[in-house]
Structure 1
């Protein structure tokens, strides 16, 4: 596809630059400084205020194929322009990513008009935050093994079960939950995609999971008779697998390009560190830095090729190659993990130590590079492990025999 920036994109860039310069005030300087991996949940009140600030001027939902909810519409190239300018000024990490880039395109593709009218305006205004209720203790990458059950009781479903690794659940207003609505069903059959309010004391218990980075953006979520209204089943009862798989296509669509802009920013910081410290004079490290840059460029062109059929507005659409999302996940997961390792290699022995203050609640604070390294250990697991992605490619693309179950 032709990905050149044209005059409309240049005008859009000037608009984005002007808005960001005006709104990146001292109020948001604190959360803007928390851009490291896994820091989105810190200083949550300031982050929520920033989401509302974005929403007031239509900067949430740029890639939606409708502008009916107060959002600006932007072409694919303009979405990339926005992401570039957002990264350039080091704006705050986004709390609303799941609602904007996962739930909203899914509702546009599979939801009813009533569901779209109820939920999309609140997402576009930055007023309601979402989390994703997919993984369970025994059903992570193998999503078809979910056991959380939802039983119809008049106008509501009562949901019982446990979800885990639920990002930002402690701050979310709503959760989209994949649950089994047909008793005795197995694998991908009998599942439904339900929209569940999180404010249900006694019925929903959120327990943050403290990680080795010291952060706790992931959570366990226990549902004990939690209610979801019957009209909040997306795509109809029993069609949850189709909706859930459609959502994963959006997760690895346009947002993949945006993600790579953040990766480029991280790589730039590592290269700058290597130059400033003199580590770049080591030919082995220099070769690794160049290889990291070249692989990032390769990922960019692969993402553009995959998105070539998404239309000139960058509207949600599924890739024509069923294995494309799995290839993308394999590429970026391994790349980002190697970047964390490279950051530690550039630091040398100093990477193992850091400043500490025993008067603080967390006396030993990781710096940005240490946090990057520790967080990226999970890159090849969350969002679908490498093993699962290779199985998908083998079975659905190459036609190899299915793995015995």
Structure 2
């Protein structure tokens, strides 16, 4: 994968000293490989592959869960679906940070390329991306919240899920709000231009970075509640630790909101730097809260074993949605990354002078990508069907009870 990434990133961001007049024989191999976007896209794709793999595992588990005939099979594939969702959502939480790094490197390499990606003809593709990622966050959290129904002791956390849902929905709305509205002449005249007087403020990156970081914090909090659902800490400093964790969430959210609002009153070059502070605040919160939670869980009192298999069928469709949405998202954003080169084979070095030197329109590209996604999912479904031909489940029961009783 890293080798293939070097090819595509060289086409997008060749080293600055390589020009149309450069003799190809003078270009060192490593110099061409280690270009500006090679490492960011390596990291981004590694994390994305983890999300994708977890989503496919979850989809397979959901298929086998719905087709299961015994409680043991349902218990096994319920556990398998949870693991797949855990892997996918854990990686999804950090994936936007890797995407931000890649986007930042593209802007730093060539601002015109970045403007084409975020503010040019590709901009509406990012609106679609925002809604698809919102679907991923909402669906992943929904699965966790339903999963609390099989965990003894989780009922004490259920009242908080409605507040988490409000944050996620508001974040999705802000993230998916376009900066420039599609409108006819009468609507444009009524608005006084292409920017809506109210919604236009939500279409800039200050609002969107704030929204996505708060959604990440909310998703992490859902994981934390799920993890702690069937245990009660017994360490003497448990209450203090919980207060510290809550304070860390509050501080991180405060930093994100402060720099998000402050971004409206500074120049663009300064506003871009604010995103770094937001990212650091969220990542620091995730790391330190996790460390505290692990220490608090030592010797924790169990409130009962997880009742694997006690999940409603609708929960399994959430796992299907994760797999379909992420596959579709990978195709669309791959087109966005490749399409910003427009009519260049190698950006500003080798131009495509053929009659086919044009980037497909978003509508045409979306249809072709959707067709590819359908073909891929059909092949995956065929593999799922082959896996279901086995008469016996791979689940191995023991005399002591279910084989999977913990996180």
Q: Is TM (by shorter chain) over 0.5?
A: no
TM-score by length of 2: 0.31
Comparing both structures, which one devotes a greater share of its residues to strand?
A: 1
TM-score of the pair, normalised by structure 1: 0.31
Structure number with the bigger relative contact order (C-alpha 8 A, sep ≥ 6) is 2
Which structure has the larger Rg?
2
